[in-house]
Amino acid sequence: MDRYRVIFTGAVFTAVFAFFILSWLPQRQLNAVVPIDQLQPYTEAQLAGRRVYISMGCLYCHSQQVRDERFGSDQLRGWGRPSYPEDYRYDEPHLLGTSRTGPDLMNIGARQTSRTWHYAHLYQPRAITPGSLMPSFRFLFEVKDRAEPGDEVVELPPGTAPAGKVVVATADAHHLVDYLLGMNHNYPRADARAMPGH
Amino acid sequence: MTQAPPVVVYEDSPPADIALADRVEADRSTRGPVLLFLSSAVIWLVVGSIAGLMAALKFQFPDWLTGSAWLTFGRLRTVHLNAVIYGWTSMALIGIAVWMIPRLVRAPLFAPKLAMAAAWGWNLFMLFGLTAILMGYTDGLEWLEIPRPIDIVVAISGGLMAISVLITVKNRRTQHFYVSVWYILASMIWFPIIFVTANLPLFTGVNEAAVNWWFGHNALGLFITPLGLGSAYYFIPKIVGRPIHSYNLSLLGFWSLAFFYSLNGHHHLVGGPFPQWVITTSITASVMMAIPVAATAVNFHYTMIGRFGALRHSPTLRFVVMGAMMYTVVSVEGMFEAVRSVSKVSHFTQLTVGHAHFGVYGFAGFIIFGAYYFILPRVVDWEWPSGNMIRAHFWLALTGIAIYVIALTIGGWLQGQAMLDAGRPFMDSVNVTKPFLAARTVGGALMTIAHLIFAYHFWLIINRKGKRRSEPAWSDRRSYIMQAPGV
């Protein structure tokens, strides 16, 4: 073989070999994992909220993976039980995340159960958590002179809303909070052998 | 279609007149695509820098520009990443590779129109891709955000570039394969494979995360890094006027990079919900990167040794050598970051952001800048008009990236330690980073100013502004003509 073919073959081989090791083999292994019944598929509203989550880029600051107690303080912080592959069965795209500029959200629905809290926090994070670096998502809300029938009025700490106005959640905000409230993966995981090698 | 080149295979050193004629022919064949790739890349650099600076400022002013979804942090940051990775770094590296390959194999570029089409396609991908991200359309996968229908365009462009380079090399009139050719050839084959595979919608859940990071790290390891190293292997020996120290070392560096770098990706999943043996494989491969990194560092060092004085005279050498040195440092840092005990602290923190900029900007970016200073005068037959602008570019970029990396490395480490200590509230890990994030904005601002100067200078040279010079403006105060056109 001349050098040309050596490089060509070598390049194709290394890329395919890496894919085989890093993606194909683990997929074979994980396909054998038994699904957990308590994990429900997302509702339509939650899926719409998940799309808002992706579109706003929440994943760049919030992870969705709780690490084992031997590896970090996630559980001591009350972020829930460690995550396993079967917890992500309905996730497309995956939102594991690589950054924790904000806290992990794998079980945020178990920690913050109040819709009001989420609305206020999305509208102005610093009204709830002083010093927070999260952007305000006030464009997910409408500011009106008075609420109309069917409007979901957001309760805000004093001084947060524009004076004399009411703040109303849009459909996007509603769905996003549906999604966040549904983030609860604390159901028990019976079979410790379900993920070999973990 | 260009005419098939004559079937003449030279000895490794043809007579000087033939070598020069070949080089003229090579440069003529690449002029159009090189200019298009390099000018487009500069535009995306400016776009990406401004988006990045705005995103950085949002850490100091989180309520700034929150009136519409278009400019929310999550979108600006993503525009920044895609503009600088796919627009600036990738297009610039391809332009440089297109310029080098015909010179290295002494054959004109095969069908320059293919490369032109690839460049236009790439620009369309960038334009539609960044607009889609601003509008909120994204695939939601890091490094693969641009929606799949738009991805088809860049997949075709990448394929066209692979064909163009592969056939050009096949038409070679040299027997010897210089190491830069190895790197360029391989990366042109790798890009379409990894990009298309990663975009196939066949995976869900954690499996998708596996494919995501197999791609994400290989975009660096099998595309940006080999093209950057291929450029350094070209420019360093070229400018110091001596061959590369060891051919065998460069071979070892190439194959160990191909084998180990391709397996690095899953160190992004350390501690995550994934079979541990896969993660351990990636950690091992990450540590084994010591081999290609050491081979390359030793090779460059022994090529440079005794010639470091040339750094004063050549802006190209200054940028490229600085980039090669940063490659060594950032790679060693990367090896440590992959190890579980370090990753436990550094993963999920700003340290990773600092590391990414150290690699892509400090290594690849600096080598690209150096290559621009060498290539442009030869493409447009005009010297860079201002030595001072080059100096300002170099020092602002270097100071900027130094502040950026040092600030985020320290800030990220403190952030990680605060996060690991469950006795401290989570907000401690946020508050501790704030001064370092402010310093990062200062570093990023210096880099952006450097890029604006560079872009303006680029505009001047391609329009042949300033006076005609017989030697580079850089060396006004010295009679050093190593970088005169045609040499």
Q: What is the pLDDT of residues A161-190, one digit of tens each?
A: 999 999 999 999 999 999 999 999 999 876
Min Cα separation B131/chain A (Å):
13
Rg (CA), chain A: 22
Q: What is the pLDDT of residues A142-162, one digit of tens each?
A: 999 999 999 999 999 998 999
Token couple for B157: 């462009």
Q: Which residue of B has its CA nearest to A84?
A: B273
| Interface residue of B101, B195, B348 to substitute, partner A, most A CBs within 10 Å | B348
Q: How many CA atoms lie within 13 A of A147 on its CB side?
A: 13
Taking each continuous run of H as one helix and of E as one strand, the counts in chain A are 7, 2
CB-CB under 8 Å, B142 with A57 = no
Angstrom distances, CA of residue B11 to CA of B18, B106, B171: 12, 12, 15
Task: Say if CB B115 and CB B164 are below 8 A apart.
Answer: yes
Q: Chain B contacts of A8, Cβ < 8 Å? A: 166, 185, 189
Q: What interhelical angle do B179-199 and B148-170 show, nearest 10?
A: 150
The answer to whether the predicted template modeling score (pTM) of the entire model surpasses 0.90 is yes
- Say what the pLDDT of residue A190 is: 62
Angstrom distances, CA of residue B483 to CA of B160, B304, B383, B389, B474: 32, 17, 10, 17, 10
- Say what the pLDDT of residue B97 is: 98
Min Cα separation A66/chain B (Å):
8
Phi and psi, residue A163, nearest 5°: -60, 135
Cα–Cα distance for residue pair B421/B404, rounded to 1 Å = 26
Q: How many CA atoms lie within 13 A of B377 on its CB side?
A: 24
Q: Chain B contacts of A92, Cβ < 8 Å? A: 204-205, 208
Beta bridge partners of A166: A144
| Interface residue of B104, B207, B284 to substitute, partner A, most A CBs within 10 Å | B207
Considering chain A, what is the average pLDDT of its residues? 92
DSSP, res A85: G
Report mean pLDDT in 10-residue bins for chain B, 487 residues.
Answer: 49 78 94 98 98 98 96 98 98 98 96 98 98 98 97 98 97 91 97 96 91 95 98 96 94 96 94 93 97 97 93 93 98 96 97 98 98 97 95 97 98 98 97 98 98 98 90 59 43
Residue A36: is its pLDDT beyond 70?
Answer: yes
Token couple for B93: 């590296």
Please list, in sequence order, all residues whose beta carbon lies within 8 angstroms of the beta carbon of residue A158, skipping any fewer than 6 positions away: none
- Say what the pLDDT of residue B8 is: 52
ipTM of the complex: 0.95
Cα–Cα distance for residue pair B410/B406, rounded to 1 Å = 6
- Collapsing DSSP to helix, strand or coil, A17 comes out as helix
Torsion of CA A108, A113, A117, A119, to 10 degrees: 80
Angstrom distances, CA of residue B377 to CA of B32, B117, B274, B351, B473: 14, 24, 51, 38, 11
Residue A194: is its pLDDT beyond 60?
Answer: no
Torsion of CA B341, B347, B351, B355, to 10 degrees: 90
Q: What is the pLDDT of residues B337-353, one digit of tens each?
A: 999 999 999 999 999 99
